[in-house]
Structure 1
Amino acid sequence: MPHDATTPGLRRNLLNEALIRWRCVVHGELHRSSLPELLAAMVADTVRDFPALRPHQRHPWHAFLAQLAAIALHRAGRAQPWTDAAGWRTALLALTPADTDGAAWCMVAPPDRPALLQPPVPGERIAAWKNVLLAADELDMLVTAKNHDIKAARARRAEPDDWLFALVSLQTQEGFLGAGNYGVSRMNGGFASRPGVGVAPPGAWGTRWLADLTTLLEQRTTIADQQGLAAEGGHALLWLMPWSGAESLSMQALDPLYIEICRRVRLDEAAGALLARATGSKVARVASKDRNGITGDPWTPVDAAEGKALTVSGAGFEYKLMTELLTGGRFTHGAAWRLDGWPQDVVLQVVAQATVRGQGKTEGYHERRVPISPKLRRRLAGPQRVAVAEMARQRVAAIADLRKLLWSALVLLFANGDGGDRNDSISDKAGRFARPFEQGEDARFFDDLALEAEAEDADRLGLRVQWLLGLVDRAEHVLTRAFDAGPRNGMQRYKARAAALGRFHGALRGAKPVLPDLAPHYAQQRREAAAEPRGACHD
């Protein structure tokens, strides 16, 4: 039986109250809006950012807004979003026909009623739940190490949108955190992460949101067919149904764009301040263990060979992983990865975001953006993608080979020029000194790759040689900078430096060169040197 609009106990209604802070793209003015007003502003692309949104909450918030809007449009039978707040409010309220008073969009509601991202818990006394959270960041999914990473429980004077963003983060990207605390279905295991990988056009928040919204509407049937989800009539907002913690929902009963919850949590209000109460569950909300995170999530790449959703490591989106994502082959992308259908001259960017989780810890928030020029996009979207992938593979291999050579030269340096005098301490020290080389190449990798990938065939060999020569120069610079950390004794110093440089250049110019593509260049150098008259003077 639908409830009327006068139901007591409903507070902080996002359909009617201006609870969400955002800043305008023009002059950065601060606005406060209801959820429908915010969606109308997103359509107009006037939202620059959300001042209360923490970096690790960016993807969950973007995904929540895109999924929610796509569900509302589909249920209303529309292809184009509403431009006014009234249209959005009507559509959102229509998603909760049993709660016409807006309870499901309130941050606080009676325990037997749904509240935003909070399932009903009829018959339970939430005041008896032992886990009471007084700060918004306590509710969030981050695990910190003794307050050293990020100070815990800082947001004690939080505003409603602080709690809102923390709630979205918890319920849509949290993992396993001990018995009774299960994670979301959209990740490969409880210690994995829910990545956010897609292609975005230039613009403010609304530009990417609108692009993904359009794609989600177009792809929802395909997602349902591929994943065995309910193309029509499935559960879309999983906080609407009561949850005692003892029962799971089957994937087959879910809408292709379902917005999930993973924890039994309820917000409350005391003395005008919000707080949260949480308790455990016996099972996960969605029965998805055998899926390995493959749920049709539009922003989650799938490792095709292993049959698992991408799990980002503590290294984040380093250049090797980004190369595999960009050039294809290993990963099957979600719907948000789209290279076709854009205006011909638009410059796109790959957006990759993830909060990396570990066992009882967080290994950092990682975000990377890689620009894609129109020319590179055409090559990645067409048959030349294979050639671009091979260019990238060769560059990755060249960096690895040169880093290994650099490390061996550093070992020789720190061993006083004695190749047989090596121990773990010297090896570790060489690794630390070699690390900046690869970090530097990571930072410039895609800019350098784009120059070769966009070039005409006749120019590519020359660009490759120039890049390799620059690579060698940068590695040698790292080696010579380490000289000060080598031996101080005069005799040993000269011996160690000469041995290190000899190892480095000998491996580049020897019979089996580390970088074979440079062999013709070095051979030409030797011929030119041999052809010079002895004793010739140069200006």
Structure 2
Amino acid sequence: MTLLYNLLDEPLIRTRLVADGQPRSFSLPGLFVALGQDAIRDFPALRPHQRHPWHAFLVQLAAIALHRAGRSELFDSEATWKQALLDLTPEHPDGAAWCLITPHDRPAFMQAPVPGANVDGWSSDRPTPDSLDVLVTSKNHDLKQGRMRAAGQDDWAFSLISLQTQAPYPGSGNFGIARMNGGSSSRPGLGVDPYGYIGRRWRRDVLVGLGHRSDVLTIGYKENLGFALLWLLPWDGESGLSFSQLDPYFIEVCRRVRLVQTADGISALRATTKGPRIYKDEAKARKGYTGDLWTPVHVAEGKSLGVSVSGFSYERMAELAFGSDYKKPPAQVVYHSDTGPRLELVAQAIAGGQSTTDGYHERRILLSPTVRKLMLQGQSNHLATTAKERVHAVGQLAFLLRNAIKTLLDGGKSRADPKGIPESISKKASLLAAPFEQAEDARFFIALNEEMESEQPDNERLQWLLSMADAAEAILKHAFTAGPQCGEQRYRAQTAALSRFHGGLRNPKTLPDLANYLRQRSIDKELP
């Protein structure tokens, strides 16, 4: 079998350029040069859930190559990048380790060599890149599988990276990666996206990785010449590796996969394993705390962040951005070098589930000048307190709205024990009230930035509270169509619901600032 599709020599990675939006394909070394010049607008073949693993792969690979070359700055030519990458695979000077297809006893890109080249019995049920990829949906209509019949070589490269560096454990001998807390968790990516295009963030994170390498070493990696590209090592599906053998920015492979050339193009063979590539006990003991540049770690529990089906809600993002429960990974920290007119916090992850994945989640938050300044100075307490108060305010109004809608659907009955309301009414009330919290989620950080930038932050917050109250009342009135519709019962239900809502707004135990304002406004109206 010959070597096919060499990423070091062939322009297989499709991009669109910043300058004119025109398509241009690059080899991997050529792509590094273009990224260093911030000349890449996007990768048209890259699917949304593949964005973080692709970014992480490019950063880790560059950081490993630069460290091995003894450099602290990027190479500036395709030839020097190519040599640096070849130097990572000295036993394969012909570039086999960077080819998509090679003899099975040799490494191929993101594919470990098969001892004896024996792939008899391997499954051939992965004819397309998307059927190989990490997504395991509970229903095929969640994201159609096996559709990429006319795939390019970069489609296969992206799917290999996605599978090998972020796969969970769906069972049946398909073990997940070590960089997550448990088989049903996920590998989240939180970082700072500076002003510019894809290359600006890539360059930033490569330099962050080089600067924090010594810190990552302290958690038990090999300082020099640790295994970095795990697809170079033969794997029989049983043997494992220890963290102490690895480079701190190792690029792992968690599945046995081999690409083959067929009459119809590329297809994939795969086999199950009897154990994970990195020793299960070691990975389990770390709870996902692996020094990953983009993964927050819970301070008290010492485990990496897991993302559920709720994704990056405003409550979760407020804590991750400004709170103290999680240790922020190096890529999420704001540095003095993060200059430019715009800075965003980006969060990306596939939600983990039981033998499925629960969707891809991505959220971007603009960091206003004052927020950036406070984060840069390490003065996040005020930000955390303000965000927590706002989270509480949204929750209080959402609770008040749900209760008012319950009263409406219950016909305005006066119950001694609200717990007596039927469960069916409570569920319906939650559905009718959901648009309120969804809308507040969408504007939460915009409003927070406005308060932080305002010369009158107390007034800015009050106006936000009033706007939320108005929005909640509008949703309550819209729900009138779901309540009783006949005569006296309709009037009683609507009146009782409004009374409960407005009474809650004026209750100082709900939101004191809002209640005080509304009370004073009522007094002012009564004055002659």
- Per the normalisation by structure 1, the TM-score is 0.94
Q: Residue 506 of structure 1 aligns with which residue?
A: 503
Q: Where in structure 2 are the equivalents of 1:326-365 lying within 5 Å?
A: 326-342=321-337, 346-365=341-360
Distance 1:100 1:404 in 2: 64
- In structure 2, what is the Cα distance between the partners aligned to 1:384 and 1:217? 25
What's the offset of the Cα at 1:127? Answer: 4.1
Structure 1 residue 346: deviation in Å? 3.3
Distance 1:383 1:195 in 2: 23
How many angstroms apart in 2 are the aligned matches of 1:130 and 1:380?
A: 50
Q: CA deviation at 1:34?
A: 1.1
Look up the match of 1:443.
442
Aligned position for 2:263: 271
Contact 2:186–2:349 (CA<8 Å) still a contact in 1?
A: yes
Query: Superposition RMSD on alpha carbons, in Å?
Result: 1.4
Structure 1 segment 103-182 matched on structure 2, within 5 A: 103-182=96-175
Amino acid at match of 1:173: Q
Partner AA of 1:520 in structure 2: N
TM-aligned CA deviation for residue 122 of structure 1: 1.7
How far off its partner does 1:272 sit?
Answer: 5.9
Kept in 2: contact 1:299–1:335 (CA 8 A): yes
SS at match of 1:299: coil
Post-superposition offset of 1:344: 5.3
C-alpha contact (below 8 Å) 2:8/2:28 kept by paired residues:
yes
SS in 1 for 2:231: coil
For 1:516, the equivalent position in structure 2 comes to: 512
Asked if structure 2 preserves the Cα contact closer than 8 Å seen for 1:173 and 1:193, the reply is yes
Partner deviation per Cα, 1:464-515 (whole Å, 9 max, x = no partner): 22111111111111111111221110211111110000000112224x4411
Q: TM-score, normalised by structure 2?
A: 0.96
Aligned residue number for residue 461 of structure 2? 464
User: Paired residue for 2:249?
Assistant: 257
Pick which of 20-29 and 413-422 moved more.
Answer: 413-422
Counterpart Cα distance in 1 of 2:291 and 2:339: 28
Q: Which runs of 5+ in 2 are unaligned?
A: none
**226, 231, 239: which is aligned to 1:247?**
239
C-alpha spacing 1:323/1:45, structure 2 compared with 1 (3 Å): same
1:527 aligns with 523
1:186 aligns with 2:179: yes
Q: 1:400 aligns to what? A: 395
Give the counterpart letter for 1:500 in structure 2. Answer: A
User: Does the 8 Å contact 2:345/2:367 carry over to 1?
Assistant: yes
Given the alignment of the two structures, is residue 23 of structure 1 paired with residue 20 of structure 2, yes or no?
Answer: no
SS in structure 1 of the partner of residue 25 of structure 2: strand
State whether structure 2 residue 329 is matched by structure 1 residue 300. no
Please state how far the C-alpha of 1:342 moved relative to its aligned partner: 2.8
Shift of 1:131: 4.0
Q: Distance in 2 between matches of 1:343 and 1:243?
A: 41
The secondary structure found in structure 2 opposite 1:249 is coil
Letter in 2 for 1:517: D
- Letter of the 2:194 partner, please give it: P
1:59 to 52, 61, 69: 52
- Is the partner of 1:126 in helix, strand or coil? coil
In the TM superposition, what is the alpha-carbon distance from 1:454 to its structure 2 partner?
A: 2.8
SS at structure 2 position matched to 1:274:
strand
Q: 2:316 aligns with which of 314, 317, 321?
A: 321
> Following the alignment from structure 2 to structure 1, what is the Cα–Cα distance between the partners of residues 117 and 82?
31
Pairwise CA distance, 1:62? 0.4
Instruction: Give the whole-Å Cα distance in 2 for the aligned partners of 1:229 and 1:346.
Output: 38
* C-alpha separation in 2, matches of 1:51 and 1:116: 21
* 1:132 positional shift: 3.5
DSSP-derived class of the 2:232 partner: coil
Q: Tell me, yes or no, if the aligned pair for 1:344 and 1:374 is still in contact at 8 Å.
A: no
Q: Is the 8 A contact 1:131 1:279 kept in 2?
A: no
Q: Sort the Cα spacing of 1:323 and 1:165 in 2 relative to 1 into closer, same or farther, 3 A.
A: same
CA distance in structure 1 between the aligned counterparts of 2:338 and 2:256, rounded to whole angstroms: 45
> Between Structure 1 and Structure 2, how many residues are aligned?
521
Identity %: 49
Q: Tell me: CA distance 1:139–1:253, structure 2 relative to 1, closer, same or farther (3 Å).
A: same
* Mapped pair 1:418 → 2:413: yes
* Alpha-carbon contact 1:172-1:259 (below 8 Å) kept: yes
